[in-house]
Structure 1
């Protein structure tokens, strides 16, 4: 072994085991914190945990579960476990008493082994629940028993129905038993940020990159779509997301990528006439915000055709799915997408009586 390789190995081990040690310490701190909190509860009051830590579209899709769990445990103290970067999606939810910013799955595993929580609702299945630094996967026996995993989950319904099943809230392949429309809890600060942007009166929000390449549509075709929209419609085009990969110079186009928080983005989408995007987090914000969506979708792994949404998008009441059976999103031609977008804009205008 060379000196350089030796150094790399022990640097890796140092950071790995330092991370694991920190996870253990934070777990014990959290256990003490919740023990003290629980000691002040009224007799019979429960401490309930809901676990959906990522991704933010999944957290939005799972929001109806917070209200359903509250209906099952009206007097409980309910804590939602989430990655810190997504805490704002939970912070303002009136059905949740506390947002717990999770350090990693090891911390959560140790905390739950202390049995301080009276009930845990895990909205995750085993092989999408991972800490890369600990190199640990956290199992969900409920999901394992039902056969729900990353290769099968869309065989069990939309995301809301899948998550409800992984928590044993409903039986397999059973519709969600309560209001299934996701909600957002936007605050004045989010509205004020949107006000400060001086958005045009009529605009379309676009989102062009997901967190998973097989769901994406090529940037060059997005550029063509923006040009076509600018030439044929009076709408301004506003792009949102983390980072733009477009090269368009259209005067009606505006790039807001990387400038907004999740809920600020949600408020911008809510104000738009239409959302055109991918099967990704912002499309779930559009669903929750009630903006008419035009969603570019394709086959995904073992799922040639699937519907991740509940609520109005799930019923396609104000959503148009742009897809071709068996084709990946990247395989959709620009002409095909333009045709479907034109039909959706026309149909929506007729519905609104414009």
Structure 2
């Protein structure tokens, strides 16, 4: 072993074990906090944990569960576990008493192993309960018993129904028993930020890149779509997301990528006449805000046809799915997508 590789190895080990030590410390510190919370509860009040830490579209899709659990346990102290970067999605939810911003799954495992919670509702399964630094996976016995995992989960329903099953809230492959329309809790600060943009003309929001390449549509086709929309409709075209990969010259197009928090982005979508995007986090924002969605979807891994949405998008009351059975999204032709979009906008 060379000196350089030796140093690299021990640097990696130092960071790994420092991370693990911090996770255990934070877990026990959280235990002391929740022990204090529990000491103030009445004997008929439960301390309940709901765990859905990522991704932000999944958290939005799972939001109805917070209201359903509250209906089952009106007096409980309900805590939602989430990664800090997604905490704004649940921090204003009136059905929750507390938001726990999770450092990593080792911290969570340390905390839950103390048994401080009376009930733990896991809306995740083993394969997406993972800390890459600790190399720790957390099992969900309910999901394991029902054989729900990342390879087959869409065989069990939409995301809300899948999460309700992994949380042992509903029987296998059952419909969600409560209001299945996801909600967002937008605040004045989100509205004020979007007010500053002066988006006064009618506009269409586009979201052109997901966090998973097989769900994407090529950039050159998006560029064609923008030009076609600008030439044929009196709408401004606004792109949202983390970053843009488009090269567009029309004056009707505005790039707002990377400028907003998740809920500020939701407020932009809420004000749009239409949302055109992929099966990704922002499409769940569109579903929750009530903006009509035109969703480009294709076959995904082992799912030739699938529906991740509940509510208006899920029932296609407020959305159109643009897809051809057996084709991935990347292979949808521009003409096919254009015709579907024209069919929707023409009816307005």
Shared fold per TM-score greater than 0.5: yes
Cα displacement (A) at 1:194: 1.0
Is residue 2:312 matched to residue 1:312? yes
2:226 is paired with a residue of what secondary structure? helix
Distance in 2 (alpha carbons) for counterparts of 1:144 and 1:345: 44
Aligned equivalents of 1:343, 1:4: Cα separation in 2: 61
- Indicate the residue corresponding to 2:144 in structure 1: 144
- Note if 1:298 corresponds to 2:298: yes
Where does residue 101 of structure 2 map in the other structure? 101
SS state at 1:178 partner? coil
Give me the whole-angstrom Cα distance separating, in 1, the residues matched to 2:205 and 2:77: 38
Following superposition, the deviation at residue 346 of structure 1 comes to 1.8
Give the match for residue 18 of structure 1.
18
- Aligned equivalents of 2:342, 2:64: Cα separation in 1: 32
SS at match of 1:206: strand
Task: Specify the alignment match of 2:277 in structure 1.
Answer: 277
SS of aligned partner of 1:49? strand
> Residue in 2 aligned with 1:352?
none
Structure 2 equivalent of residue 131 of structure 1: 131
Match of 1:260 in 2: 260
Aligned residue pairs, count: 348
For residues 110 and 126 of structure 2, the distance between their equivalents in structure 1, rounded to whole angstroms, comes to 16
SS at 1:91 equivalent: coil
The answer for the alignment partner of 1:56 in structure 2 is 56
Aligned to 2:83: 83
Query: 1: distance between equivalents of 2:9 and 2:185?
Result: 46
Paired position in structure 1 for 2:7: 7
Q: CA deviation at 1:201?
A: 2.3
How many Å separate the matches in 2 of 1:76 and 1:61? 22
1:40 alignment counterpart: 40
Alpha-carbon deviation of 1:279?
0.2
Segments of 5+ residues of structure 2 without an aligned counterpart are: none
CA distance in 2, matches of 1:43, 1:227: 63
Deviations 1:265-306 (A, max 9, x none): 000100000000000000000000000000000111000000
Question: Would the aligned equivalents of 1:126 and 1:149 in 2 still touch at CA under 8 Å?
Answer: yes
- How big is the shift at 1:2? 1.0
Indicate if the aligned counterparts of 1:269 and 1:289 stay in contact, CA closer than 8 A.
yes
Please say if residues 200 and 236 of structure 1, whose CA atoms lie closer than 8 Å, have aligned partners that are also in contact: no
* Structure-1 separation of matches of 2:184 and 2:295: 20
Shift of 1:200: 3.0
1:99-147 deviation line (CA, Å, top 9, x unaligned): 1100000000110000000000000011011100001111111001101
Question: Within 1, Cα distance between the matches of 2:309 and 2:291?
Answer: 14
Instruction: Name the residue aligned to 2:238.
Output: 238
Q: CA RMSD in A?
A: 0.6
Rounded to whole Å, the distance in 1 between the matches of 2:21 and 2:326 is 47
Which of structure 1's runs of 4+ aligned residues deviate more than 2 A?
none
